[in-house]
Amino acid sequence: MIRWITLIAVLSIVTGSYVALRQPNWIAQAGETTAPIDITAGLKEPISLQTGTSALVALGHTGGTGFFWRARSENPEVATATYLDSRSEKTRPETVGASESDIFRIEGINPGSADIRFQLGRVGSSSIRQQTISIRVVPKT
């Protein structure tokens, strides 16, 4: 088995083919799925969390263009959003035009409601697109 993996790695290097077997830079916490919820097109219902739990969300954009998603909670005492990683849909993450998804962890802090506003833009420029999702946090049972 190890010989086959080594052979494949050597052939990949020699032929210049590259297959991304990259692990994400984050580890799913207890209760999270490893597949983030795609919220690029928006959500009709709020995301419900219990206090102390979290969910992963993804927002898509065109990679290699300098654009990325930023997040800000309107009520950080209730819920927060933290950037975790970016995933490319093609085998070479640096390929311009490849679909990418920015991954965020939404954490429920205290019971209540919060809106989290995501903005797509470049560093130092105004946003070109916005997405807002509602979070409902209930006490842990």
19 within domain boundaries: no
Q: Which of 34, 38, 30 is nearest to 107 (CA)?
A: 30
Number of H helices, E strands in the chain: 1, 8
Question: Is there a domain that residue 15 lies in?
Answer: no
pLDDT (0 to 100) of residue 33: 53
DSSP 27: -
Q: Is the pLDDT of residue 14 over 60?
A: no
- Is 51 a member of any domain? yes
- Give dist(CA 51, CA 139) in Å, integer: 5
In the chain, DSSP assigns E strands to 37-38, 47-50, 54-62, 68-73, 79-88, 99-108, 112-121, 129-138
Domain that holds residue 129: 25-138
Where does residue 101 rank: exposed (0-12), middle (13-18), buried (19+ CB within 10 A)? buried
- Domain tally, the chain: 1
Q: Reply yes or no on whether the pLDDT at 107 is more than 90.
A: yes
**Tens digit of pLDDT for each residue in 39-72?**
877 778 889 999 999 999 988 887 777 888 999 9
Domain CATH code at residue 64 = 2.60.40.2020
Cα Rg of the chain, angstroms: 18
Which candidate, 81, 71, 68, places its Cα nearest to that of 125?
68
Task: Quote the pLDDT of residue 5.
Answer: 38
Poorest-pLDDT segment among 31-45, 52-66, 86-100: 86-100
Q: How confident is the model at residue 30 (pLDDT cuts 50, 70, 90)?
A: low
Instruction: Give me the residue label for tokens 């697109």.
Output: 129
Q: Is residue 125 part of a domain?
A: yes
Is 70 a member of any domain? Answer: yes
